[in-house]
Structure 1
Amino acid sequence: MDSIDLIKKLSDVEGISGFEDNVLEVIKDEMKNFYNIEKDSMNNLYINNILPEERKKPVIMLEAHSDEVGFMIQSIEGNGLLKFIPIGGWSSQQVQAHKVKIQNSEGKYINGIISSVPPHFLKNDGKTEIKDMFIDIGAFSYEEVKEIYKIEIGAPVIPNVVCEYNEISKLFLGKAFDDRIGCAIITEVMKDIKNENLNVDVVGVISSQEEVGLRGAIVSSQKALPNVAIVLEGPPADDTFRNKYTSQGGIGKGVQIRHIDPTMIANPRLVKFIKDIAKKYNIKYQETVRESGGTNAGKIHLENLGIPTIVLGVPVRYAHSHHNFVSLNDYQETVKLVKALIKELNENIIKNF
């Protein structure tokens, strides 16, 4: 499989929370010749889901979320500017003057920019909150927006970015690596293990609406009901503002193993097993203890009377902004680790978690 093309394709595709359909179509197209695929009304996607009564082996769930942070049109001004709200977590300093695209009522994308005040007119510190920003599509009236551009209230707004890959640095520069990088890992791993003789069954789950409250995972984990869950994430990198001793999310430092965040304490026996496997297979990894943030693991580990769950991450520089960096090397190390875990897990090991 061409990992580079897959990652670029998933980065470029549009899919803010609640509007993940295009992302799912990419994944379905990649997986259609390999597994049965199901989708529910929450826009969760299930790859090789196995009904509880048909299971003969423990089930490992590989989980990632399809949605990206973006915006939604709230109202249309008389002068043609568009009022919007954030979907997911944004900092106002990362929003102004960036290109976006708005999906209109015909499914077409209209380009625009998030308005900014020229420096000539700025006063005081010049800071603007998101609630005071607008999107400018080059229209001059309410009627023009509605009748010509066919943009309606509730329209999804996506960062307008095309993913690039640098052969020298082996870095991708694009959008939405939180969490399209996790989606790519699941897609690649599920293909690679298709004909493996394993002691476990593997289900791939692509959950919706993580960025607005871990909502899809509440439903998807109840349907998948795994014995172990591996959550694949694109967590924020910290190596641009922390030193080599305190950084726990460095680009090029390998897969990130998460011990804790405010939503979950990782099962310590599972953590030890994963670190032992990483060492056995000579896989580069780093560890993190997070004071903030959260993932779908926060909901997943509480289902099915408690599911041993781990978050494995590929660090993303400048997550939750228009432009992110992510490392192909870190991606490949994570794929290797996930495949090694699947190969090594069995019923007896899982019982001891």
Structure 2
Amino acid sequence: MDKKLNLKMLQDLTLANGISGFEEEAVEEAKKYLSDTLITDRDSMQNLYIKRTKNDTSLPTVMLDAHIDEVGFITQSIKPNGLIRIIPIGGFVAHNLPAHRVKIRNAENKYITGIITSTPVHYKGQDKELSLENMFVDIGASTDKEVKEHFKIDIAMPVILEGVFEYDEDFDIIKSKAFDCRAGCASVIEIMNSLENENLKVNLIGTLTSQEEVGTRGAIVATNAVKPDIAIVMEGTPADDTFAEPYQMQTKLRKGPMLRHMDPRMIANPRFQRFALDIAKKYDILCQDAVRTGGGTNGGAIHTSNSGVPTIVIGVPVRYPHTHHGIITYQDYENMVKLATAIIKELDRDIIKSF
């Protein structure tokens, strides 16, 4: 693993613009880091398929997936005073958003910076109840005409959270936006590059899928195309070590990737899950397992596709996902890559049949 290159890849991927339905720029950024010998294809949903030249289609197919879209907003209307109403694409908590910077891609494909509106402390008592249905962006205009004619902004334009990438080498922490799921995308890229020339006992296909944050739509299309026998979903998963009771913490920073037994949309195949946990133990890879009462991943769509696909989810713990600023550790990212790589190398036809 080339740490310097991986950090640059994480920086470029997390800062890339690519909310659900508008993933093109993020896909192009991802392609820059793929080996020239890998075979890539892109469909109309902006799903990116990655295949090895050494793949053997007679072998069982493993789908290694991560979603490339991020949460954001879309412009919905413009008030006469120049404020731009936005509606969410993906899940947000309203009180995390006011006074934060966003970028709106205008009709000329340029990015215009704006601020999500908030009421100054001097006018408290005059503000309306905060809700996602009452969010506006201020780009400095004073009329709707200025917004449309000068800034070239109209309805249905993507709004991206503006993030900053930082790496603290002494503490091994990374701060940026969109770790959900660009950290997963980086891991898929790294694994596909590292296994390109390996003699595997499976047919390995990587997928960077679109529109997960609005209903796993890209994964539905991609799974129909790949028709996997088994799947590993790489994720940026919410850390719980800053708010949960110690006995309830299941996704802590510096404790390795999280293997998710279940969430509202999927129960992980228990035999595949046990195999993955045994691999972690065999190779002394730090990991943690969790049972989630909320959330969902592409695994929900993949495991019920075709005639059923044994699926597990491996996630790097992310503090404050779905906000402008998240935190992960490089150590957890590295262990996520190690674990998925070890699993893929151990898989064969008989093992997959046993799941």
Matched, 1:147 2:149: yes
Taking the aligned partners of 1:202 and 1:164, their CA distance within structure 2 comes to 33
2:13 is the counterpart of 1:13: no
Q: Is the 8 A contact 1:99 1:111 kept in 2?
A: yes
Matched, 1:42 2:45: yes
Note the C-alpha offset of 1:127: 4.5
Q: Deviation per CA, 1:256-298: give whole Å up to 9, x if none.
A: 0000111111111101100110001000010100111111100
Give the letter for the 2:102 counterpart: V
Count of matched residue positions in the alignment of Structure 1 and Structure 2? 351
- Partners of 1:64 and 1:183 within 8 A in 2: yes
Is 1:333 aligned to residue 335 of structure 2?
yes
1:54-98 Cα offsets, whole Å, 9 max, x none, are: 712111110000110101100111111101101100110111110
Give the direction of change, closer, same or farther, for the CA distance of 1:74–1:49 in structure 2 (3 Å limit): farther
2:202 to 200, 203, 224: 200
The code of the aligned residue for 1:75 comes to S
The equivalent of 1:98 in structure 2 is: 100
Quote the residue 2:294 is aligned against: 292
Q: In structure 2, how many angstroms separate the alpha carbons of the residues matched to 1:156 and 1:16?
A: 7
Say if 1:49 and 1:224, in contact at 8 Å, map to a contact too: no
What is the correspondence of 1:228-307 to structure 2 with a 5 Å cutoff? Answer: 228-307=230-309
1:146 positional shift? 0.9
Task: State the match for 1:66 in structure 2.
Answer: 68
Equivalent position of 1:347 in the other structure: 349
Deviation at 1:316, TM superposition (A): 0.6
- Compared with structure 1, are the counterparts of its residues 289 and 84 closer, same or farther at alpha carbon in structure 2 (3 Å cutoff)? same
Which residue of structure 2 lines up, in the alignment, with residue 160 of structure 1?
Answer: 162
Q: Identity, % of aligned pairs?
A: 50
Query: Given that residues 316 and 325 in structure 1 are in contact (C-alpha distance below 8 angstroms), is that contact kept between their aligned partners in structure 2?
Result: yes
CA shift at 1:34, angstroms? 2.5
2: CA distance, partners of 1:94 / 1:49:
42
Alignment correspondent of 2:310 = 308
Matched, 1:182 2:184: yes
Q: State the partner residue of 2:112.
A: 110
Residue 170 to residue 133, structure 1, CA distance change in 2 (3 Å): same
SS in 1 for 2:331: helix
Match of 2:7 in 1: 4
Aligned to 1:171: 173
Runs (5+) with no aligned partner, structure 2: none
CA contact (8 A) 1:173 1:325 kept: yes
Opposite residue 294 of structure 1, the aligned amino acid is G
Distance 1:312 1:342 in 2: 13
Match of 1:322 among 318, 321, 324: 324
- In the alignment, the residues of structure 1 paired with residue 91 and residue 37 of structure 2 have an alpha-carbon distance, to the nearest angstrom, of 35
RMSD, matched Cα? 1.5
In the aligned structure 1, how far is the partner of 2:79 from the partner of 2:119? 17
**By how many angstroms is 1:133 displaced?**
2.4
The answer to whether the 8 Å contact 2:52/2:196 transfers is no
Deviations 1:193-236 (A, max 9, x none): 11111111210001100001111111001101111100001111
Q: Higher mean Cα deviation, 22-31 or 276-285? A: 22-31
TM-score (norm 1): 0.97
Residue 121 of structure 1 corresponds to 123
TM-score (norm 2): 0.96
Corresponding residue SS for 2:87? strand
SS state at 1:249 partner: coil
1:25 aligns with 2:21: no
Where 2:317 maps in the other structure, the secondary structure is coil
Can you give the 5+ residue segments of structure 1 that lack an aligned partner in the other structure? Answer: none
Secondary structure at 1:26 match in 2: helix
CA shift at 1:244, angstroms? 3.1
CA distance in structure 1 between the aligned counterparts of 2:276 and 2:143, rounded to whole angstroms: 58
SS in 1 for 2:103: strand
